[in-house]
Structure formats: structure tokens, C-alpha cells
Amino acid sequence: MPDRSNNCSELSRRDVLKATGGTLAGGAMVGQASANSRAEVNVGFDGPRGREAAKKAADSIEREFNFDAMTITASEKAIDGLENNPNIRYVEANGEMQALEQRLPWGVDRVDADVLHDNGQTGSGADIAIIDTGIDDDHPDLEANVGEGKAYVDCSGSNCNYPWSDDDNHGTHCAGIAGAVDNSEGVVGVSTEATLHAVKVLDGNGSGSFSDVAAGIEYTADQGWDVASLSLGASSGSSTVKDACRYADDRGVLLVAAAGNDGSCSDCVGYPAAYSTVIAVSSTDSDDSLSSFSSTGPEVELAAPGGSIESTVIGGYETYSGTSMACPHVSGAGAQLMANGYTNTEARQRLKETAEDIGLADDEQGSGLLDAEAAVLDGGDTDTAPTVSWANPTDGKTVSGTVTVQLDASDNEDSDDSLDVTYSVDGGSARSTTYNAETGYYEDSWDSTAVSDGDHTLDASATDSAGNTSTSSITVTTDNTESAPAVDSLSASEVETDDGDAEFDVDWSVSDSDGDLDSVDLTLTDDTAGETEETAAVSVSGDTASDTTRLVAAGDDGSGNDYTVEAIGTDSAGNTGSDSTTVSETEDTNSAPTASIDGLDDRSNPRWDRIEVDWSASDPDGNLDTVIVEMLDAGGSTVDSVTTGVSGSSASGVDEVRTKSNGSEIVVTATDTDGESGTDSQSI
Amino acid sequence: MSLDATLAVTTNGDVQFSFSVVNEGTTAVTLTFSSGKRADIVVRDLSGEELWRWSDGRMFTQAITRATLEPGEQIEQSYTWEDPPSGTYVATGILEADSDLEAEAEFTVE
């Protein structure tokens, strides 16, 4: 293929004269593409004179046939001459044509955007803002793709069909790189059907104010366009332009800018390329070397073809060099990703991760040379990546012992049980999982004691049959230090009873941070008497337990005794934790005495009724006071009585009661110190 | 170097600078510009302190451009300093090409 790369290097006298009347900038980039256009043609001739004419017209002879024809490469002018030569039978185009047919610029070829076109990837539906000097709106290689425009500076000259028309060539050139139409003429862009919007912020001399540039970026964001292509820059920054880039980035615009032409230099990326919201693009030549003019620095994210790039200019085609030319290559590829549903952040990441390492320094190539084919075709669009997330453990959880890892993974194309799902701990080697049809998760057992206690990163990865991988990362805290249970609360309260027991309700709660509680043992001790009254063992599990347990000091009906309640929590490892509390028996739990007539001995004589009463008395709480033995007459009146002082819990005695009248009934009454009493009676 | 630069200044409210470069030699000279900033104007006061620079606050196309000046040919560019304060200044026109070339002019704003 003929090399047309030097077409722009010299200016004709006429162009400079034009500049004389205008500006330093005006004619500087007008060249002579049409005059130099060549084509490969098959020429048929009659006789030696025709053969000579064809040879004379040829810049180079590609093939001579045994019959009267040859294939030559010749200039358009020479071809025109042959066509008018009577000794020439025919001139026909031969395959790849220069000027007569569409050319594939080396940059588009190098990033394999032509492969995208062959696969139907055209950027259709994406909107690219060419924030520049404008776009030649009626250029035959752009017209079908040119969308709306906006002008922040005036267009001057004869090409200003719209305020945003190009009066410089630069914007038109960049537009053609990003998205020249795929047709039968001129050049083809990286995208071929993306919409190209002209945002004119630079004047016909190629300069514009920070404010106008910022306004153009803001406008792009407000229109909801996908890509802002910024083939412009300055060596010093602008807070307003920086803010505008942030504004656009936040609104989903993919921002791409030229790294600058200050090369060779280091750490010299210009603005806005150097802003974090913007992809800075350096420039390469066709041999994959860094272009001599390209700025470099840590902000460079991608390299793209920028040396001797043919593209559209006002009314024609020209070959320019600059990071301005590298930038729209990336813009066109980014537009294809955005057309396929990528967000600006995803597209930026995708462009970087698919870039081709061409061996330049990081400051020169960033992630590498733009690879439009890899970015758009490899995965992504044709086969969606699977999804993966952590079902167990979940992010932030504390785990111990053996953990059942459960990963939820699925894919649009592949069945849910066919994915390759692995995980790793702290970036270690991948651990495989097994799909569990019952739970629907990919599962594995992980012994968390293999790592030290603390925070650990778990990275899950799911890969589908197309090789697309998704990842999900969480952080868990492992705690495998054996911990003892703790008694968190313990209180005892006296239970009101009417028997001779001291009873207490004990409220307790225990906990164990490693969750292996086993039992709670409760002990009730009578401190006053110095003896253990009752113990209770309660089975527990898990990390916390609580209940209320009643403990009884049987027969302890005395008032004022002090008791101690001790609770001991024990885990399955035998670790214990304990607490105790004291409680007093404050209730006077008096019980009534009982009296009993154990026997009557009738010792009456004719004058006296005399009954000897054999009695006994008892009192559970041991405060017997008196026993009264009475004889009643038939009317119920006491006719005789004997009172005996008693004490303790039991007493007995024999007393005689008598009367001259007729005794009818013997009653024995036992009374305690509280005045409670019990009686027994027997008729006589 | 056969190139010669001149800087013309006119004050009329705003200050107009016209920076021109002419080829005084007998052979063609090709200039290479690394960006749309092909020349710049710097204004300093008489103590040498810089007060205004045309390129401050501007951004430029990032394509390499060339211009060839045949013998006797001239290119020029105009610049405007709006709302200048009164005073006497020295302006310097700087060719931002692969050939260094400057021209100075003193002027007074009433």
C-alpha cells in the first residue's frame, strides 16, 4: 500500500500565502491529498506504444501479463491520461484502490477496529461529542453520522453552514478517526455508525478558553452523550475544566483526552488529560514506537495510533500527527462499548484491561495500546459474564471453626450448576467448590482455624464456559480463640410459701463467645447453717442461655437465714465461668402447731369426773408455746383446764382434768409463739 | 536563521498585538508547531513582572502542524489584551515553534 503519511509535512506556496493574509494557524494544515492520490489499475493496451504508455504512467508495475495487459500503480492524473490514450483499450480498478475506494487508515487497522466492523460492531446508538474546532457538517465521509452541534466560539470563514461547523480542520480530522462512515470512499473510522456531535469550543486557530472548554464538557454531560473526545490541552490546569470533567464523569460520560505533544518529556501529561476522571491517551507510530512528540507520565492510561493518521478534513482528507489523533481512536472504541451497554466506568476499565502490551514503559503506554477488537468482541457483548456472590459467610461476619462456604453463582448462557466457581483466602491458591443441588449453592468446607484470628479477605470467582469471569470479595473476621462462658446476670428472690421450706427463684443468664455452651450448675447454700441445701443442673447450648430456676432449702423456715446462690456456666470444652449472689430468708414462714390426744385414762369416782389426758404437740417451725388441756361440759363451756408451757417443735405430757358436774369432751390445744394453734378433741 | 519577527502594538481601549514572522533569507524555511499554540504574547511591567500572558486560561489542539515560508513570505497573528490597566509595559511575542524567535515592543496604556 502506498505510503501517504508525509502529505501534510510541507505546505504549498499557495497555502502559506493564504496564511499571510490571515493567521499563523490558518493554512498550516492544508495539504495536497488529492493530487497525490494513487490507484492500482489493470490496463489493457494495443501494441508496443500502448505498453510504453502504460509503463510510463506507472509509478510501479505490479504485474505484466503475456497478453496485452499489465497491473500498475499510478496517480489519478496519469490514469486520466491513459484513459484518453487511443492505444489503451481499458483501465479498470484493481481491488484495493487509493482515492477511488475507501482506505483503511493504519490506526484503525492497528487497533483492529476493522474486525469489529466485519462483526457488525459499528457503535450505532452511541453519541460522541467531538469537543474541538467543529465538524465539517457536509463532508461525504461524515455527513451520515453528524448529529447535533453546539458552538461556544464563532465559526469564521466560508465553511460555516452551522455555528458549530469547522473552520480549522482539526475537529473534522478527529471526528473522522472516531467515526468516519464505512462507505465506498475516503477513510473509515474506529466506529462507523456512532453519532458525532460537534461541540465547538476552539476557534479557527485551534485555541479556546478554559471556560468555553468547560462549558462544552458540561453541555455534553447535559445532553446525556456517551463519550467526550477532547483532542485538546494545556500544560497548566484549570479548576473549572476539572470540575466540568467531574460533572460529566458523574453523569456517565466517558472522557478521553490527548496526553499532549510536549515530547519527548517525562511526567508532562497536559490538562484535562491528567485529571483522574479523564483517560489520558499517548501516541504511537505505525511501528508501535512511542511518537516522538507524545507527552508521557503516570496519568497515561492508554496508547493509540497518533503518528501520520489519515482522516477527514474540510472537503477532503489529510494526514496529521499528534496525540489529538490518538485520542479519538479511544473515543471511537469507547463509544462501541457504550453502545453495547457499558457504563463509562465499565468502558474505561474494559479498554484498559484489554489493551495490548507493546512493551513501552508504563508512563508511555499506560495499560497498553488500544485493542478495540479485544475490548468490544472478546466476551462482554456476545456472552455475558456470570454473577457470583457470597451466601455464607457474608461480608463482615465473624466466623470460627469449620465454615460452610456457600457461593451463589449463575450465568445467562450456562446452566447454574456448570460454572467453575472457586474462592481463595487472602489471595491464596484457588479452592474448588461443589454445586449442591439442594441448596443451589456452590459449597465447600473451610477450616477457619488454619488462619490467624483477625480480618481475612475471601475472593470468589465464577467462570463460565466462554471464559468470562466475575468475582466477589468479602472480608470476614475469624475468632478461633477458645473462650470461657460468662455468667452475665444472676439474681435470686424469695418465694412466699406457707410450708416450712425456704424457696428462691434464681434468674440467670450465661453467654459464650465461641458458642459452645453446655450446662449451667446452680447451688443454694445456707450460710447461716453452713450447709448445701440444693443443686440444679440445666443443659444449655449455643452462645447465650437464660432461665429462671427455683431452688428450695427444705425445712428452712427460720427467718433471717442468709443464703448464697452460685451459678457456674460450663462449655463443651470444659471452660467455666461463675458468679454468685446472696439472698436472705426474710419471710416469717410460720406454720401452725398440731395437737394430739394420744390417750385418755378415766379415773372418775362417784363425785368427780377425772380424766387423765395423754397428749402430744408438734410444730414444724419449732415455736411451740403452750398446750392447754380442757374439759368441756355438754353446753360447750370449759369446766376445767390445765395449761402447760412448751417449746420447740414437739412436746408431750399427761394432765388430769376434772369436774363435779358432768364432763362431756376433752380438748387439747397447742399454741405457738405466733398465736397459731392446732387442736384435738375427744368425747368422754 | 533567516526569520525575523516583529511585534506591533496598538492601544485603543483594549491592546491589540500583531505578531508577524517573515523569511528574510533566500531559502524556504519550514516551521513545526507542536500544538495549536503557535505563538504567545507576554506582557511585563518595566520591573519585569509578568502581568498577562495570552495563553493563560486557554487550551489548544494537540496536532503537529507545519508551515513553510518561502523567501519574503510572512505569517502573522493578532491577539487582544482586554481591559488593561494604565501603565507602561513591555510586550514580548514568542514564536512557539521548533525555531525560537521573539520580538519585543514597549507601549503605554493611558
Which pLDDT tens digit goes with each residue over A513-548?
A: 877 889 999 999 888 777 888 899 999 988 899 999
- Residues 10-69 in B contacting A (C-alpha not used; CB under 8 Å): 19, 21, 30, 33-39, 55-69
What chain B residue is nearest to A209 in terms of C-alpha separation? B58
Chain B interface mutation, best of A207, A239, A264, highest count of B Cβ atoms under 10 Å: A207
3-state DSSP assignment of residue A69? strand
Chain A partners within 8 Å of B38 (Cβ): 24-25, 28, 205-206
My answer on whether A273 and A338 are in the same domain is yes
DSSP A155-172: --STT-SSTTB-SSSHHH
Percentage of chain A exceeding pLDDT 70: 91
Confidence of residue A30 (pLDDT cuts 50, 70, 90): very low
Examine residue A99 and state whether it is found in any structural domain, yes or no: no
CB A334 within 8 A of CB A178: no
Instruction: Determine the pLDDT at residue A461.
Output: 93
Mean pLDDT is lowest, of A92-101, A187-196, A547-556, A601-610, for A92-101
A260:B56 CB<8 A:
no
Task: Flag if B78 and A23 touch (Cβ within 8 Å).
Answer: yes
Q: What is the pLDDT of residue A286?
A: 95
Decide if B61 and A323 are in contact by the 8 Å CB cutoff: no
* Cα distances (Å, whole numbers) of residue A381 to A109, A340, A472: 21, 7, 21
Q: Do B62 and A323 touch (CB under 8 A)?
A: yes
What range defines the domain where residue A429 resides?
399-466
Digit-coded pLDDT (tens) for A263-293: 899 999 999 999 999 999 999 999 999 999 9
CA dist A676 → A559, A614, A636, A673 (Å): 17, 21, 22, 7
CB–CB of A11 and B59 under 8 A? Answer: no
Helices (H), A233-391: 239-250, 323-339, 344-353, 362-365, 372-377
* CB nearest B38 (choices: A8, A25, A231): A25
**Which of B60, B76, B78 minimises the CB distance to A232?**
B60
- State whether A245 and A168 are in the same domain: yes
Q: What is the pLDDT of residue A15?
A: 34
Confidence of residue A12 (pLDDT cuts 50, 70, 90): very low
Beta-strand relationship, B58-61 and A232-233? antiparallel
The region that residue A578 occupies, defined by phi over 0 for left and psi between -120 and 50 for alpha, beta otherwise, is: beta
The type of residue at A66 is N
* Per-residue model confidence as pLDDT tens digits over A99-147: 447 899 999 999 999 999 988 899 999 999 999 999 999 999 999 999 9
CA angle centred on A70, ends A65 and A73, rounded to 5°: 145
Q: Are residues A373 and A406 in the same domain?
A: no
Q: For residue B88, give how far its alpha carbon lies from the nearest alpha carbon of chain A (Å).
A: 27
Residues A66, A134, single domain; the answer is no
Residue A34 has pLDDT above 50, yes or no: no
Nearest to A209 among B58, B67, B68 (CB): B58
In this structure, the answer to whether residues A76 and A111 fall within a common structural domain is: no
Cross-chain Cβ contact A16/B34 below 8 Å:
no
**Residue A163 sits in the same domain as residue A73:** no
**Is A331 found in the same domain as A234?**
yes
Q: What is the mean pLDDT of residues B24-49?
A: 94
Q: How far is B71 from chain A (nearest CA, A)?
A: 11
Cβ-based contacts of A172 with chain B (< 8 Å): none
Residue A32 pLDDT grade (very low, low, confident, very high; cuts 50, 70, 90): very low
Q: How far is B5 from chain A (nearest CA, A)?
A: 12
Cβ neighbours, 10 Å, residue A601: 11
* Domain-located, residue A65: yes
Report whether A118 contacts A167 (CB < 8 A): no
pLDDT at B1: 60
Report whether A139 contacts A314 (CB < 8 A).
yes
- CA–CA gap between residue B51 and residue B17 (Å, rounded): 15
Clarify whether residues A87 and A149 are in a common domain.
no
pLDDT at A319 over 60: yes
In contact, A229 and A133? CB cutoff 8 Å: no
d(CA A247, CA A238): 14
Max avg pLDDT among A73-82, A470-479, A583-592: A470-479
Looking at the fold, whether A513 and A534 belong to one and the same domain comes out as yes
Q: Could you tell me the CATH number of the domain that includes residue B19?
A: 2.60.40.2360
Question: Given a cut of 80, is residue A475 above it in pLDDT?
Answer: yes
Percent of chain A with pLDDT over 90: 53
pLDDT in tens, A396-444: 888 888 899 999 998 877 787 889 999 999 999 999 999 998 999 999 9
pLDDT for B2 beyond 90? no
- A180/B78 Cα distance (integer angstroms): 34
- What's the mean pLDDT when you consider all of chain A? 87
- Mean pLDDT lowest for which of A1-10, A635-644, B3-12, B62-71? A1-10
- Please tell me whether residues A180 and A309 are part of one structural domain: yes
Residue A281: predicted pLDDT = 98
pLDDT at position A95 is: 54
Count of domains observed in chain A: 5
Work out the minimum CA distance from B73 to partner chain A, whole angstroms: 7
CA distance A135 to A170: 8
Least confident of A463-467, A538-542, B101-105: A463-467
**A679 compared with A2, residue with greater pLDDT:** A679
Do residue A113 and residue A148 come from a single domain? yes
A271 vs B contacts (CB less than 8 Å)? 59
* Strand B87-96 to B100-109 pairing: antiparallel
Chain A residues in contact with B35 (beta carbon < 8 A): 206, 233, 260-261, 322
Specify the DSSP class assigned to residue A275.
Answer: S
The number of C-alpha atoms within 13 Å of A253 and in the hemisphere containing its C-beta is 31
What pLDDT is attached to residue B3? 92
CA distance linking residue A286 with residue A109, whole number of Å? 10
Rounded CA separation A602/B93 (Å): 153
Q: Between residues A247 and A465, which one has the greater pLDDT? A: A247
Closest in B36, B70, B76 to A206, CB measured:
B36
Find the residue in A nearest to B78 (Cα): A23
Q: Which residues of A touch B60 (CB under 8 A)?
A: 202, 206-207, 232-234
- Based on the domain organization, do A283 and A224 belong to the same domain? yes
Domain encompassing residue B22: 3-109
A408: three-class secondary structure by DSSP:
strand
Q: Verify whether the Cβ–Cβ distance B34 to A207 is below 8 Å.
A: no
pLDDT tens digits along A361-399: 999 999 999 999 999 986 544 567 788 999 999 998 888
How many contacts, defined by CB atoms under 8 Å, are there between A and B?
136
Beta carbons of A207 and B69 less than 8 Å apart: no
> Is A383 contained in some domain?
no
Are the Cβ atoms of B77 and A262 closer than 8 angstroms? Answer: no
Identify which of A376, A375, A256, A268 has the alpha carbon closest to the alpha carbon of residue A327: A256
Residue type, A50: G
Q: Using 50, 70 and 90 to split pLDDT, how confident is the model at B102?
A: very high
pLDDT band at A499 (very low <50, low <70, confident <90, very high): low
Contact partners, residue A629, CB within 8 Å, separation at least 6: A613, A615, A641, A642, A643, A644, A655, A657, A666, A667, A668
Counting every residue, how long is chain B? 110
Average pLDDT over residues A37-52: 85
pLDDT tens for residues A601-651?
888 888 888 889 999 998 877 788 999 999 888 888 888 889 988 988 889
Which residue has better confidence, B100 or A614? A614
Predicted pLDDT at A494: 83
- Give the pLDDT score at A18: 31
pLDDT value of position A383: 63
Which residues of A have a catalytic role annotated?
132, 170, 324
Residue B23: its chain A contacts at CB < 8 A? none
How much is the pLDDT for A37? Answer: 66
Could you read off the pLDDT of A323-375 as tens digits, one per residue? 999 999 999 999 999 999 899 999 999 999 999 999 999 999 999 999 999 99
| Contact assessment for residue A487 and residue A569, using Cβ atoms and an 8 Å cutoff | yes
pLDDT at A589 over 70: no
Q: Does residue A28 form part of some domain?
A: yes
For residue A656, the domain's CATH number is: 2.60.40.10
Q: How many domains does chain B contain in total?
A: 1
Distance to chain B for A36, nearest Cα, Å = 18
For residue B88, is pLDDT > 70? yes
| Residues A149-170, mean pLDDT to the nearest whole number | 95
Is there a contact between A24 and B56 if contact means CB atoms under 8 Å apart?
Answer: no
According to the model, what pLDDT value does residue A649 have? 84
Residue A393: inside a domain, yes or no?
Answer: no
Q: Is residue A654 part of a domain?
A: yes
Mean per-residue pLDDT, A237-244: 94
pLDDT of residue A22: 34
Pull the grid cell for residue A9.
509535512
Q: B37 vs chain A: nearest CA distance in angstroms?
A: 7
Q: What are phi and psi of A20, to 5 degrees?
A: -60, -40
Q: What is the mean pLDDT of residues A157-171?
A: 94
User: Angle of helix A239-250 relative to helix A210-222, nearest 10 degrees?
Assistant: 10
- As for the ipTM of the complex, it is 0.93
Of A16, A173, A233, the CB nearest to B60: A233
Query: In angstroms, rounded to a whole number, what is the distance separating the alpha carbons of residues A636 and A654?
Result: 22
Which pairing describes strands A300-305 and A278-284: parallel, antiparallel, or unpaired?
parallel
Among the candidates A584, A603, A626, a domain finishes at A584
Instruction: Locate the chain B residue with the closest alpha carbon to A282.
Output: B62
| Shortest CA gap A19–chain B (Å) | 6
